[in-house]
Amino acid sequence: MSVESGAGQVNNRANRANVGFCPKCGAVSLPERTECPVCRAPSPSVAARSRSRNLTVLLSLILGGIGAHKFYLGMWGWGIVYIAALPFAGISVLVGIAEAAHFHAMPPEEFDLRYNKRKPGPFDW
């Protein structure tokens, strides 16, 4: 076996690892897709996410100063920023209260699209 064919096999394995299959129809789908391109069934990773808008509002009101709502939504990067900002707790508490108002005013459909239909990254807005 040559070195080139070995490298090609590793790349093929990496590509196959990033490809998923629809549980309903078996079509090939990329993991960042929220639904199957063939039958439009939700992907299993998306279907499993169920974040509550009301709980997000409560977390940002009560524990917003330490970024609990960010960890809950999967934005752990911003959660760490909130923890690092603890010496300036007044500012992070005010930001948490402002975000609680933002989440409360957000329509449920938009909240669902942003936080349930896709997986947010660590530093997503």
pLDDT tens sequence across 28-81? 777 677 778 788 777 665 445 689 999 999 999 999 989 999 999 999 999 999
Whether the CA torsion 83, 87, 93, 95 is positive or negative: it is: negative
3-state secondary structure of 1: coil
Beta carbons within 10 angstroms of residue 95's beta carbon:
17
Nearest to 125 by CA among 109, 102, 108: 102
Query: What DSSP assignment string belongs to 6-17?
Result: HHHHHHHHHHHH
Q: What percentage of the chain has pLDDT greater than the value 90? A: 37
Provide the 3-class DSSP secondary structure of residue 66.
Answer: helix
